[in-house]
Amino acid sequence: MIGRLNHVAIAVPDLAAAAAQYREMLGAEVGAPQDEPDHGVTVVFITLPNTKVELLYPLGEASPIRGFLDKNPAGGIHHICYEVEDILAARDRLVEKGARILGTGEPKTGAHGKPVLFLHPKDFNGTLIELEQV
């Protein structure tokens, strides 16, 4: 069911510093910051040959990243995103097997403009998993 690893998302306390670090210390291809007000984050995309890393920084008071950074002031890996072909079929399979979907259980439009769902980290080894339909 799951396909490619679409991205690894890392919440960071200083977006400019983290972007500079990936560019200058790690020598990666680092994009410009993009505000995603609908998702409460500013994102910097790091393009690797086979996948992406997304650096996340809170945007607005209701940002879903703010609480994570309060608990992890140095930052940390926030979630990983797996691609699926059919997000409703994926959801139904997961729910049938006992997994919990965060929120309403209905897909939302994610930061890449595609339908996404998040799975409950307590059901998946403490790992927040995003599923994105591609």
Q: Which is nearest to 94 in space by CA: 86, 111, 23?
A: 86
Q: Could you tell me the smallest distance in angstroms from the CB atom of residue 56 to its own copies? A: 10
By C-beta, is 108 or 122 nearer to its own copies? Answer: 122
Catalytic-role residue among 54, 83, 130, 132: 130
Helix (H) or strand (E) holding 66: helix 66-71
Question: Which residue's CB is nearer to its own copies, number 13 or number 64?
Answer: 13
**Closest CB 66 distance from its own copies, rounded Å:** 15
CA distance 120 to 14: 27
Q: Does 106 participate in catalysis according to the annotation? A: no
Helix (H), strand (E), coil (C) string for 82-104 = EEECCHHHHHHHHHHCCCCECCC
Q: Which two tokens stand for residue 70?
A: 């309060």
Token pair for 71:
């608990």
35 strand-pairing partners: 42
Q: How far is the CB of 53 from its own copies (least distance, A)?
A: 7
Pick 36 or 52: Cβ nearer its own copies: 52
Least gap, CB of 33 to its own copies (angstroms): 15
Residue 55 vs 111, nearer CB to its own copies: 55
Residues that bind its own copies (CB under 8 A): 1-5, 8, 10-13, 18, 21, 24-28, 48-51, 53, 55, 72, 74-77, 80, 82, 93-94, 97-99, 121-122, 124-127
Nearest to 15 by CA among 67, 47, 61, 57: 57
Active site residues: 130
